[in-house]
Copies of this chain bind each other. A is one copy, B any other.
């Protein structure tokens, strides 16, 4: 739910303060403004905490007086007196009562330059900031929007002041206001007006900047404001009370993937001036497609969390001929209502609906080998509308392909409460084969359910139940088809390879394993939320083990392409594969492997990072071939073609101890290992970043080397974009696509560049902490 809030200038508030009402609740300018805003459909107001009187006093005290000024000494003395006890007088502030603060979003004095080049201006600005925060805290203000950073050179000083500010108030949220990119850095076609975040002219002007007519910027300049944000929150150590107010005043081009980086950040407010709207054919204000899709992306990222509140401004300026003031807020509410993500979340049967409450929530992976699962856990996973259908298909096709015989034997290894037994029986029936099913289960509790189902559903002639661990149990005869569902989010992470090493003793030499193989995939991701969640864990384990997570407010940082070395692979890359039955297995007299060495794996992968950002970890996915063309996949680009709407697995998240800063167009090299000893299996991971050696040529993204994937999907794996539910305007920014945002630097694209290392992470999980203890 977005809160629609209008911004009232101080002058307006003062006019409203003329006594014209006897209701004590509306006796102050800000309460009047609130009442007026609510009458127009807004939820609240956003207003500055201070007025021009305070600005004038601060300037007179803190900006150096002329040496010739006869009052110089007196002024400096008054300034020192202010510094020794910084405080307001009543005339300098816009609110004085807690009920005024309750429904207002508070802007601190935006003319305070915490990043001024001048040491003294910075010092006194910080002192004023702390004074304003102390007053706001007194009034119980919940969130204060800080003056925006303006000077990249002194962003460290800005950030240090914000960090001190966070420490100075105990509960308040502080929000850093930033334009989505810096329009002053636009290089072509810029309308020669005041840039949104250059020097401020007046308090009320900040939300009424004409938008630039064209928007050709290169990647570095368009990441400049993001980089300031990253420096600020890094210096504040990802403080949980620090968030972001994104200013959408600069016109957004459509399909600009660089904006994706904002999706992974904690956006609390969105500033949306009337000037960001364009008129549709009927003259009503609508948003350009770029802005529409960006707002929808932000809404999607916040699904299941608190949606950022939109702050509209300038809606009473009559900029658009139709609809009047309410048209703007109505349009934004419409945008929200028709958001595909929000619609999907409200539709039963969708992953989005199923996953509600689990978005970006870290869960320890299941340990079905060590723990006996509860019935409710089985129940949840048996709800999956797709997974068991795929299993049935796989068994059906395996039966069809298997030479017909009197009695085809199937073993379900790890039968749980019996879903695979039931599906195998259905497949047998469909294939019209004469087959018999052994069901092996080591969970003594689930085994009771299996007995019940056999007695009431399956009968003795079709199914035989066997109690025990598939790694040690013996079964009466070898089978033709071995069916198991031991896969985790990363394929092998719930010890499927180790369990099936034992279960392979059940299978005839030419028998079929379902699954036939599974592959682990990773991709580098940025997510403030996941980083904070992993670091909120009290012990070191927080960043030393992977988590199961419904990934939502994340940004996959990699792009397809060869990258600067020409050797980078796809956006999501394969780590390793396990096949069953194993080829070339060396086994002891019991048919078991001597060691677990054959289940060790490692991968060294190269990712092209087109747009700079902070790397917080790796997302892990799997894809399995059950049989032939039937598979299961949570690979983000392939899942919809292989097992659409499957619910059973959220991705894995491999967290990093510290964020790794990645500049645009760098190469990320990731090492990941699956390791084992006599007692356990675990992963370790590590990453390094590279840029081209200065002076060597660099390569723009190339087609990635095609991977030998076992399951075919359409060559263009992106689902078509749905049509907009409202009449879209003819949008000038449409022409400004991602391609127009290419670098203006004229980098030569001949061959791979030599690389220079620029950074690295720690080695993660070197002590082999593991959730998967089984050997």
Instruction: Give the B-binding residues of A (Cβ under 8 A).
Output: 73, 76-77, 79-81, 83-84, 119, 122-123, 127, 153-154, 156-157, 159-160, 163-164, 167, 220, 227, 231, 234-237, 564, 584, 586, 593-595, 597, 600-602, 604, 612, 658, 661, 663-665, 671, 673, 684, 686, 688-689, 691-696, 698, 743, 745-748, 753-754, 756-760, 762-763, 766-767
**22 contacting pairs across A/B (C-beta < 8 A):** A76-B584, A76-B586, A79-B586, A80-B586, A80-B594, A119-B600, A122-B602, A127-B597, A156-B671, A156-B688, A157-B604, A159-B763, A160-B671, A164-B766, A231-B760, A661-B757, A661-B759, A663-B758, A691-B694, A695-B743, A695-B746, A695-B747
Q: Are B759 and A160 in contact (CB-based, < 8 A)?
A: no
Q: Are B694 and A234 in contact (CB-based, < 8 A)?
A: no
Set of chain B residues within 8 Å of A84, measured between Cβ atoms = 594-595
**Chain A interface secondary structure, helix, strand, loop or mixed?**
mixed
Closest-by-CB residue of B relative to A689 is B758
CB distance from A150 to the nearest CB of B (A): 15
| Interface hub of A234, A236, A698 (most chain B Cβ within 10 A) | A234
Contact of A163 among B119, B127, B766 (CB under 8 A): B766
Q: Are A593 and B220 in contact (CB-based, < 8 A)?
A: no
Given contacts A694-B753, A695-B745, 12 further A-B contacts (CB under 8 A): A73-B586, A77-B594, A80-B594, A123-B600, A157-B604, A160-B766, A237-B766, A612-B756, A658-B658, A691-B694, A691-B758, A694-B745
| Distance A743 CA – B695 CA, assembled complex (angstroms) | 10
Set of chain B residues within 8 Å of A766, measured between Cβ atoms = 160, 163-164, 167, 235, 237
Q: With A76-B586, A81-B594, A754-B220 in contact, is A234–B760 under 8 Å at CB?
A: yes
Q: Are A597 and B123 in contact (CB-based, < 8 A)?
A: yes
Set of chain B residues within 8 Å of A164, measured between Cβ atoms = 766
Closest-by-CB residue of B relative to A767 is B167
Q: Are A756 and B220 in contact (CB-based, < 8 A)?
A: yes
Set of chain B residues within 8 Å of A762, measured between Cβ atoms = 234-235, 237
Q: Are B686 and A694 in contact (CB-based, < 8 A)?
A: no
CB distance from A301 to the nearest CB of B (A): 25
Set of chain B residues within 8 Å of A694, measured between Cβ atoms = 564, 665, 691-692, 694, 698, 745, 747, 753
Q: Are B154 and A80 in contact (CB-based, < 8 A)?
A: no
| Distance A502 CA – B85 CA, assembled complex (angstroms) | 21
| Distance A766 CA – B641 CA, assembled complex (angstroms) | 50
Q: With A81-B594, A163-B763 in contact, is A601–B695 under 8 Å at CB?
A: no
| Distance A586 CA – B696 CA, assembled complex (angstroms) | 57
Contact of A160 among B686, B695, B757 (CB under 8 A): B686
Set of chain B residues within 8 Å of A81, measured between Cβ atoms = 594
Contact of A586 among B77, B586, B594 (CB under 8 A): B77
| Distance A604 CA – B152 CA, assembled complex (angstroms) | 12
CB distance from A691 to the nearest CB of B (A): 6
| Distance A743 CA – B693 CA, assembled complex (angstroms) | 11
Contact of A696 among B593, B594, B745 (CB under 8 A): B745
Closest-by-CB residue of B relative to A664 is B756
Contact of A595 among B80, B220, B234, B691 (CB under 8 A): B80
Set of chain B residues within 8 Å of A604, measured between Cβ atoms = 153-154, 156-157
CB distance from A217 to the nearest CB of B (A): 14
CB distance from A503 to the nearest CB of B (A): 20
Set of chain B residues within 8 Å of A745, measured between Cβ atoms = 693-696
Set of chain B residues within 8 Å of A684, measured between Cβ atoms = 160
Closest-by-CB residue of B relative to A123 is B600
| Distance A511 CA – B79 CA, assembled complex (angstroms) | 27
| Distance A73 CA – B235 CA, assembled complex (angstroms) | 59
| Distance A692 CA – B665 CA, assembled complex (angstroms) | 13
Set of chain B residues within 8 Å of A673, measured between Cβ atoms = 157, 160
| Distance A641 CA – B561 CA, assembled complex (angstroms) | 57
| Distance A84 CA – B748 CA, assembled complex (angstroms) | 53
| Distance A316 CA – B661 CA, assembled complex (angstroms) | 53
Set of chain B residues within 8 Å of A758, measured between Cβ atoms = 661, 663, 689, 691, 758-759
Set of chain B residues within 8 Å of A234, measured between Cβ atoms = 760, 762
Q: With A123-B600, A695-B747 in contact, is A83–B686 under 8 Å at CB?
A: no
Q: With A696-B745, A766-B163 in contact, is A663–B586 under 8 Å at CB?
A: no
CB distance from A754 to the nearest CB of B (A): 7
Contact of A756 among B127, B564, B663, B695 (CB under 8 A): B663
Q: Are B235 and A763 in contact (CB-based, < 8 A)?
A: yes
Set of chain B residues within 8 Å of A159, measured between Cβ atoms = 763
Closest-by-CB residue of B relative to A602 is B119
Closest-by-CB residue of B relative to A156 is B671
Closest 3 CB pairs of A and B: A80-B594, A695-B747, A695-B745
Set of chain B residues within 8 Å of A594, measured between Cβ atoms = 77, 80-81, 83-84
Q: Are A693 and B586 in contact (CB-based, < 8 A)?
A: no
CB distance from A233 to the nearest CB of B (A): 11
Closest-by-CB residue of B relative to A75 is B586
Set of chain B residues within 8 Å of A153, measured between Cβ atoms = 604
| Distance A697 CA – B43 CA, assembled complex (angstroms) | 52
| Interface hub of A84, A164, A594 (most chain B Cβ within 10 A) | A594
Q: With A156-B671, A167-B767, A694-B698 in contact, is A661–B597 under 8 Å at CB?
A: no
Closest-by-CB residue of B relative to A603 is B119
Set of chain B residues within 8 Å of A236, measured between Cβ atoms = 763
CB distance from A64 to the nearest CB of B (A): 10
Q: With A73-B586, A84-B595, A153-B604 in contact, is A698–B698 under 8 Å at CB?
A: no
| Distance A763 CA – B164 CA, assembled complex (angstroms) | 11
Q: Are B688 and A691 in contact (CB-based, < 8 A)?
A: no
| Distance A747 CA – B664 CA, assembled complex (angstroms) | 21
CB distance from A296 to the nearest CB of B (A): 30
| Interface hub of A167, A693, A762 (most chain B Cβ within 10 A) | A693
